[in-house]
Amino acid sequence: MIARPRRGLALALLTAVLAGGAVASVDAAQAPNTLLPYERCQFYNPETGKLQVLLGYTSTYSSNVVYRAGSAQNFFQPGTPDLGQPQEFEAGTDGQLFVISYYPDFSDLSWVLEGNVLPLTRDPSRSCDAGSRWQGAWGAGASYVPGDVVTRAGSAWRAASASTGVTPGAGVAAWELFAAAGADGATGPQGEAGPAGPKGDTGATGPQGATGATGPAGDRGPAGATGPAGPAGESSPPVATPAGPRGSGRARFAARGARRGAVVVRARSVTPTSVVVLQYESGSGARPTVLRRVSPGRFEASGEPGAAFRYVVYPAGA
């Protein structure tokens, strides 16, 4: 257990004492309102070279205190300042216990809480209870024997008997509570926005998109004013008179149905090479006339639904 400092205690030095543990020292000027970090015990794994340390804190505040993990009041050094330590510190209690892991052969570590520095080093004299073996997070498929210590849901549990697949928890005969998890702390304050990162390289040009569908034809614009007569041209040499039309007639574009605006005109004068000229009989249709297909004895066209038109059939080359 950890000895809790009393509020208003006018000592030159305030310390907390643990069985086999280490604590940070606090000047009396900081008492009674202070947070004191302490080490409960540690476990060194010679196979991996990693040291696991069980840490906690004592608070002499009369209400809870919040310090964001990694902030100037609650950080580890050197290296990563946030190692999963608490962010809300309960008043007047031995705070929640938590475990950190690091490689002591590379560097020592310290937890700084409200300016109180707790140095962490490998020390066999501060080893966890004799006969205990730290096994890390509990695994459903792992087998455990008495003395194995695991973590689950923030608490540490020690095996009381051999088991496989038995979940640690209150009332479970195969496990006994080794260190209870503390309550989750409140969300810390929003940190300052970090500086803008460097501008990334320009990405590769994407593939060419598919061509969009053709839009509907626009309305025909008004007729322009008649321009001035041009100068008389030079007389052209006589040319052969083109062949006259082979046939003509009148038809109407379909007004409804599946073939709305389309028509098939049968005319004996039409051949596959014929030139067919289409013209509305009166006024202008909203749609232009379009000659779709020419075949022996017939042609297909489209235009304004229901509009009448005339056609003239010319031979090829006319």
Contact 182, 88 (CB under 8 A): no
Whole-angstrom Cα distance, residue 207 to residue 211? 12
Whole-angstrom Cα distance, residue 169 to residue 153? 10
Q: Which residues contact 133 (CB under 8 A, 6 or more apart)?
A: 43, 147, 148, 149
Contact 82, 76 (CB under 8 A): yes
Q: Half-sphere exposure (CA, 13 Å, Cβ side) for 114?
A: 22
DSSP of 200-236, one letter per residue?
Answer: PPPPPPPPPPPPPPPPPPPPPPPPPPPPPPPPPPPPP
Whole-angstrom Cα distance, residue 277 to residue 314? 8
pLDDT of residue 4: 32
Please report where in the chains the tokens 């100068």 appear, as a residue.
231
pLDDT of residue 159: 93
Whole-angstrom Cα distance, residue 148 to residue 156? 10
CA-nearest of 34, 47, 159 to 103 is 47
With b for 16 or more beta-carbon neighbours within 10 A and e for fewer, the 136-161 pattern comes to eebeeeeebeeebbbbeebbbbbbee
Please report where in the chains the tokens 């046939």 appear, as a residue.
247
DSSP of 153-194, one letter per residue?
Answer: TTEEEEESS-EESPPP-TT-TTEEEEEPPPPPPPPPPPPPPP
C-alpha R_g of the chain = 47
- Record the pTM: 0.39
308: left (phi over 0), alpha (psi -120 to 50) or beta: beta
CA-nearest of 297, 311, 307, 302 to 248 is 311
The pair of three-digit structure tokens given for residue 56, joined into one six-digit string = 């906690």
Q: Cβ–Cβ contacts within 10 Å for residue 75, how many?
A: 19
Q: Where are the domains of the chain?
A: 13-179, 247-314
pLDDT of residue 238: 63
Q: Averaged in consecutive runs of 10 residues, what is the pLDDT profile of the chain (318 residues)? A: 29 32 49 81 78 85 90 92 88 71 81 92 78 84 91 85 94 86 54 85 92 90 89 72 77 79 88 88 77 91 87 82
Whole-angstrom Cα distance, residue 208 to residue 200? 23
